[in-house]
Amino acid sequence: MAKNQITGRSAFLSVLKDEGVTHLFGNPGTTELPIMHALAEHPDLTYVMAMQESLVVAMADGYSRASGQLTACNVHVAPGLGNALGSLYNAKFTGTPIILTAGQQEQGHGLTEPLLYDNLVPMAEPLVKWAIEVTRLEDLPRIMRRAAKVAMTPPTGPVFISLPGDILNMEGGIDLGSSTRVDTRVRPSDEVLEALAARILKAERPVIIVGDEIVKSDALKEAAEFAEAFGCPVLQQSVSYGAHFLSESPCYIGGLNREQPDVRAALSPYDLMIVLGADPIRMSVWSEVDPMPPGLAMIQIGLNDWDLAKNYSAEMAVRADVRETLRALTPALVEKGGKALKDRAEKSLADLQEKNWTAKRKKLVATIDAREIVKGKPIDPDFMTLRIVESIPKDAVVVNESLTSGRLLNSLLAYRDRFGYHGLASGGIGWSVPASVGISMAQKDRPVVCVVGDGSAMYSIQALWTAAHHKLPITYIICNNGGYRIIKQRLKLFHKNEQFVGMDFVEPAVDFTALAKSMGLEAHRITDPAALEPAIRKATTTPGAKLLEVVVEGHV
């Protein structure tokens, strides 16, 4: 017997652990039984069961987004992979490094097409960086090592491996290899740094747009120092799904939205857009208006080369790590700019004091508190959002899929650290309830607060069971407005139609409190605005998973 004689199933788990994976999110079927069998030999790998495959991938997605680490998850053959695709699309959108595996029928079935069989690779292919089926035991470790490397090399993203049962059950003397990470923390050449500094100094009215590579490259501090060095206003990219800048920096003026005329108006005062690791103006609903003002010059820095000059030409496009670039660029800029730059920064920072995020927040808080509706029932969603922000613990991680009810969340909640805020990104709803499970496991010393619309919650509500089973400190705040309010708003706006077919949760209404209790969570229904703060404080400071169903205004 060869020294390293090992089964495919055990090799699979050993290599995952060696790649730094600590949790395997999954939903088991017969084709996954070899893995379930082998888990007994690997008690240091935590299996996290989710009750549907779209949840499995969303949990893995949440774990990775809240830790920056590679995650792994496993689903069941063709129908399971099919269920997972919506969440895989979300992971592709955010470039989340996930190894998604699916059990596959034994190769011995040949062409006979047993139940549950289909060709898995082409199903996954459009949504992953690499998809492959293992056909020889010797290739299993090589494939896994390559998959981990591909997933983790920027631009990061999910990969897919199909695992036939015979490969998992086979035993042989195979080499498990070792882990490789490609170091991409590269900074531009001296010439390019010089040219960047010169171009920025030439601009009269520059603006910085920040995106997710600030989080991925851990550049929050460096980005704030860069902006403050020349008093440059900073806007968050149009999809505000992460803590992409320190909200309380004097330079931060808030986020772009996804209304083309608004974006065009917001950008038109500037003569240079400096994009840091972002797809700066990704839109949602079509409009005749182009969001990019004509003549606005752009320079773009980031490792995601697909985003560089994707839709609009860039005067300079630099493929480099955002943090490393800023570490070199800020001193170059300060040196080249000298006293003139320093004076300009001081003046600009003084101007920004009146219009930055912090100033706008102060005004917003005063308006919300002054509104009559504050005392009314159903609860005003803006009032709810403010109470949430004011009553959650300082170290809470906030997860946001609250659509219309939480429209002001990013204007009221400050981004203070890299992993403290995670929002729905791609638009594919049903992400946050399961993602919060992974986020909580990744940030296990921090309470998690998930603010989610009633409609979005119902896509993946059974993730509550996993949260309760693992006794996770998550508070789910369901914004219950009785239906798909955003879709109603749009039917009215785009089609002047107020006949809301298929958009109201009536006859019967959904009882979220009962649903949550049935899955083992402590749950309360809140209709009185005064009850909000004490309920949130209690839920977020006592152990275990909780659900607060807040009945909010849903009028269209």
Ligand X SMILES: Cc1ncc(C[n+]2csc(CCOP(=O)(O)OP(=O)(O)O)c2C)c(N)n1
User: By CB under 5 A, what part of segment 298-337 binds Mg ion?
Assistant: none
Smaller CB separation from Mg ion, 240 or 481: 481
Smaller CB separation from ligand X, 72 or 384: 384
Smaller CB separation from ligand X, 97 or 482: 482
Is residue 427 a contact residue for ligand X (CB under 6 A)? yes
Tell me the backbone φ, ψ of residue 273, rounded to 5 degrees: -105, 120
Q: Which residues pair with 164 in a beta bridge?
A: 104
Q: Distances from the Cα of 308 to the Cαs of 107, 210, 300, 324, 481, in angstroms?
A: 42, 13, 6, 17, 40
- Report in angstroms how near the CB of residue 480 gets to ligand X at its nearest: 8
What is residue 158's three-state secondary structure?
A: coil
Residue 536, CB-side half-sphere exposure with 13 Å CA sphere = 26
- DSSP states of 69-112: --EEEEEEHHHHHHHHHHHHHHHHHHT--EEEEEEE--GGGTTS
Q: C-alpha 270: how far from its chain's center?
A: 29
Which residue of 141, 206, 428, 434 would you call a contact of ligand X, by CB under 6 A? Answer: 428
The two structure tokens encoding residue 160? 């897919």
Residue 80 binding: pick among Mg ion, ligand X, none (C-beta 5-8 Å cut-off by kind): none
Which residue of 484, 519, 535, 545 would you call a contact of ligand X, by CB under 6 A? Answer: 484
Which residue of 26, 29, 80, 86 would you call a contact of ligand X, by CB under 6 A? Answer: 86
Q: Distances from the Cα of 517 to the Cαs of 164, 462, 523, 546, in angstroms?
A: 39, 12, 6, 9
Is residue 456 a contact residue for ligand X (CB under 6 A)? yes
- Report in angstroms how near the CB of residue 5 gets to ligand X at its nearest: 46
Smaller CB separation from ligand X, 85 or 439: 85
Smaller CB separation from ligand X, 124 or 550: 550
Smaller CB separation from ligand X, 138 or 504: 504
Is residue 431 a contact residue for ligand X (CB under 6 A)? no
Is residue 405 a contact residue for ligand X (CB under 6 A)? yes
Q: Which residues pair with 99 in a beta bridge?
A: 72, 159
Smaller CB separation from ligand X, 132 or 403: 403
Q: How far apart are CA 449 and CA 445, in angstroms?
A: 13
Q: C-alpha 142: how far from its chain's center?
A: 29
Is residue 454 a contact residue for ligand X (CB under 6 A)? yes
Is residue 556 a contact residue for ligand X (CB under 6 A)? no
- Nearest one of 9, 24, 49, 29 to 116, comparing CA atoms: 29
Smaller CB separation from Mg ion, 121 or 556: 556
Is residue 378 a contact residue for ligand X (CB under 6 A)? no
Whether omega for the bond prior to residue 233 falls within 30 degrees of 0, making it cis, is no
- Nearest one of 494, 489, 425, 437 to 462, comparing CA atoms: 437
Smaller CB separation from ligand X, 95 or 554: 554
- Nearest one of 388, 389, 386, 379 to 365, comparing CA atoms: 386
Q: What is the dihedral of CA 449, 453, 454, 457, to 10 degrees?
A: -60
Is residue 422 a contact residue for ligand X (CB under 6 A)? no
Is residue 454 a contact residue for Mg ion (CB under 5 A)? yes
96 touches 156 (CB < 8 A) = yes
Is residue 481 a contact residue for Mg ion (CB under 5 A)? yes
- Report in angstroms how near the CB of residue 32 gets to ligand X at its nearest: 25
Which residue of 455, 461, 475, 476 would you call a contact of ligand X, by CB under 6 A? Answer: 455
Is residue 430 a contact residue for Mg ion (CB under 5 A)? no
Smaller CB separation from ligand X, 307 or 454: 454
Query: Per this entry, what is the length of the chain?
Result: 556
CB atoms closer than 10 angstroms to residue 487: 16
Is residue 284 a contact residue for ligand X (CB under 6 A)? no
Degrees, nearest 5: CA angle 124-130-131: 45
- Report in angstroms how near the CB of residue 368 gets to ligand X at its nearest: 18
- Among the candidate windows 42-50, 226-234, 322-330, 425-433, which touches ligand X by CB under 6 A? 425-433
Which residue of 27, 31, 404, 436 would you call a contact of ligand X, by CB under 6 A? Answer: 404
Count of chain residues binding Mg ion (CB under 5 A)? 5
- Report in angstroms how near the CB of residue 130 gets to ligand X at its nearest: 25
Is residue 29 a contact residue for Mg ion (CB under 5 A)? no
Q: How far apart are CA 528 and CA 280, in angstroms?
A: 40
Is residue 402 a contact residue for Mg ion (CB under 5 A)? no
- Nearest one of 519, 523, 532 to 51, comparing CA atoms: 519
Which residue of 365, 487, 531, 556 would you call a contact of ligand X, by CB under 6 A? Answer: 487
- Nearest one of 366, 540, 399, 369 to 479, comparing CA atoms: 399
Which residue of 280, 434, 455, 529 would you call a contact of Mg ion, by CB under 5 A? Answer: 455
- Among the candidate windows 215-223, 244-252, 308-316, 423-431, which touches ligand X by CB under 6 A? 423-431
H helical segments located in 250-356: 260-267, 322-352
* Beta strand extents in 455-502 (DSSP E only): 474-480
For binding to Mg ion (CB under 5 A), which residues are involved? Answer: 453-455, 481, 485
Q: By CB under 6 A, name the binding residues for ligand X.
A: 86, 403-405, 427-430, 453-456, 481, 484-487
